[in-house]
Amino acid sequence: MLTIIDIESGSIAEELGIVPGARLISINGYDINDELDYRFHNNGEDLEVLIELRGEQVIYEIEKEPHDDIGLIVEEMHMRTCGNNCIFCFVHQNPTGLRKPLYLKDEDYRFSFLHGHYVTLTNVTQDDLSRIVEQRLSPLYVSVHVTDSERRKYMLGIKKDDHLLEKLDFLCRNNIELHTQIVLCPGINDGKYLDRTIADLKLYYPILGSIAIVPVGLTQFRGRLPKLTPVYREYSLKTMDIIEQKRRKLKAELGSSFVYLADEFFISTNMELPEAEYYDDFYQMENGVGLTRDLITRLHSELPHINIPAPLRLTLVSGVLGAAALNKYVIPHLQKVCNLRLSLLQVKNKFYGESITVAGLLVGQDIYAALKNEPLGDLVVLPPSVLNHDRLFLDDWHIEDLEKKLGRRVLVFPDSFTLLFDTINNLFK
């Protein structure tokens, strides 16, 4: 049963007189428990919708076009939390005193479908799996890390075998597209464990379409957490060589490279970033796999369309990793744009520790400390991943706080160079 929080203007629901505050019980006899149930059962031509308002139940018989929406806006889904105790969990590596959502460990296959969140599938039941198949919740994104049962229990901090491969088998047999990730922890899930994990997952290709390998991130707040070895340069280079050999064999066998290293491996070792062909269909850009190459490709396509009518001094901000990539692949091209003067400021992560080099984990106070004594341009541009939907940094600074302290307008890069400069041009009209 779901609470209806609003009605779309001009919709079927409005015409029928359904009002906010009513509760949606069922559609065609199927219980409606969340937004995905509503989306799925809302399809069809003939619907019997059971609504409750002030203790009275009313059945509405609706005829409509198959994909027309009734027009109900229902309450948001409550996210399932994670019961795992992963040895590398980033939530456990947060300092105290942050806002509550930053300590929430999500583990909800519905949000994996809606937003690309990674889930381990440890808490899914057979009913959940059947629902995924029935409602075609595809693709899903699965954190595998390792397939060896004992090693998986250790890494995820669980006591019982969660039968991951059986779940993957069921989903793949029912054509639910999957993409997976391995957070690589030196000495834990590499070597023979990595070999086995890749071999096990390969059996489900092409329904299981990709494996992303991401280096473990370790903050300075590990305290009593298990000791883990950082991914150093020498280890990265060795891993890159091992994976490249595997990719060649997989390409010959499957027609796809199947396994993809996160951009961090290449940037942190100062190795050349792969060309676009390396990433096939860029299955996992949101996971930092091919994101930099995609940015470079878009830059070259957008450069001829960038127009800056008056002199502009721009300060770009990034973390250590992003700054290295921007200096190598982006800044030299932007410096050729007429009327544009660029400076790039690298921000070290004092908040989480300098071993954290990705831009998405920069906080407001570190950015301010790095910029406050620097000669800033007309505008400051931040990476797109540093703010949440409330325009808050991880340390609860608001972007307006940063603007006030710096005395400069601060923009977030909108994922398009032409859109960025069009926005700036409009600001200075």
Q: Domains of the chain: which residue ranges?
A: 2-74, 91-287, 296-427
Residue 149 is encoded by which pair of tokens? Answer: 């049962």
Q: What is the pLDDT of residue 136?
A: 96
Q: What is the pLDDT of residue 249?
A: 97
Please state, for a pLDDT cut of 70, what percent of the chain lies above it: 100
Q: What is the pLDDT of residue 154?
A: 97
Q: Which helix (H) or strand (E) holds 403?
A: helix 399-406
- Answer whether 0.95 is exceeded by the pTM: no
Instruction: Just give the CATH number of 296-427.
Output: 3.40.50
Q: What is the pLDDT of residue 326?
A: 96
Please state, for a pLDDT cut of 90, what percent of the chain lies above it: 89
Residues 145 and 366: their CA atoms lie apart, in Å, by 31
pLDDT exceeds 80 at position 401: yes
Band (pLDDT 50/70/90 cuts) for residue 351 is: very high
Q: What is the mean pLDDT of residues 319-325?
A: 96
If phi > 0 it is left, if psi is from -120 to 50 it is alpha, else beta; for residue 258 that is: left
Residues 162 and 164: their CA atoms lie apart, in Å, by 6
Residue 71 is encoded by which pair of tokens? Answer: 């027009």
Q: What is the pLDDT of residue 67?
A: 87
Residues 156 and 144: their CA atoms lie apart, in Å, by 10
Q: Which CATH superfamily is domain 2-74 in?
A: PDZ domain (2.30.42.10)
- No. of H helices and E strands in the chain? 15, 15
Band (pLDDT 50/70/90 cuts) for residue 404 is: very high
Residues 214 and 182: their CA atoms lie apart, in Å, by 6
As its CATH architecture, domain 91-287 has: Alpha-Beta Horseshoe (3.80)
Q: What is the mean pLDDT of residues 143-163?
A: 96
pLDDT in tens, 354-372: 999 999 999 999 999 999 9
Q: In what order do the strands lie in the sheet with 259-261?
A: 118-119, 140-143, 178-184, 208-215, 259-261
CB 180 within 8 A of CB 140: no
**Closest alpha carbon to 352 in 341, 362, 338, 367:** 362
Strands 178-184, 140-143: parallel, antiparallel or unpaired by DSSP? parallel
Residues 70 and 16: their CA atoms lie apart, in Å, by 10
**Closest alpha carbon to 94 in 223, 247, 227:** 223
To the nearest 5 percent, what fractions of the chain are helix, strand and coil?
Answer: 35, 20, 45
Q: What is the pLDDT of residue 371?
A: 95
pLDDT exceeds 90 at position 289: yes
pLDDT in tens, 87-120: 999 999 999 888 888 888 889 999 999 999 999 9
CA 170, 173, 177, 183 torsion: positive or negative?
Answer: positive
**Closest alpha carbon to 38 in 60, 28, 18:** 28
Band (pLDDT 50/70/90 cuts) for residue 187 is: very high
pLDDT in tens, 23-53: 999 999 999 999 999 999 998 899 999 999 8
CB 122 within 8 A of CB 158: yes
What does residue 318 show for φ and ψ, rounded to 5 degrees?
A: -155, 170
Q: What is the pLDDT of residue 251?
A: 96
CB 329 within 8 A of CB 292: yes
Residue 100, judged by CB atoms within 10 A of its CB (0-12, 13-18, 19+), counts as exposed
Q: What is the pLDDT of residue 96?
A: 87
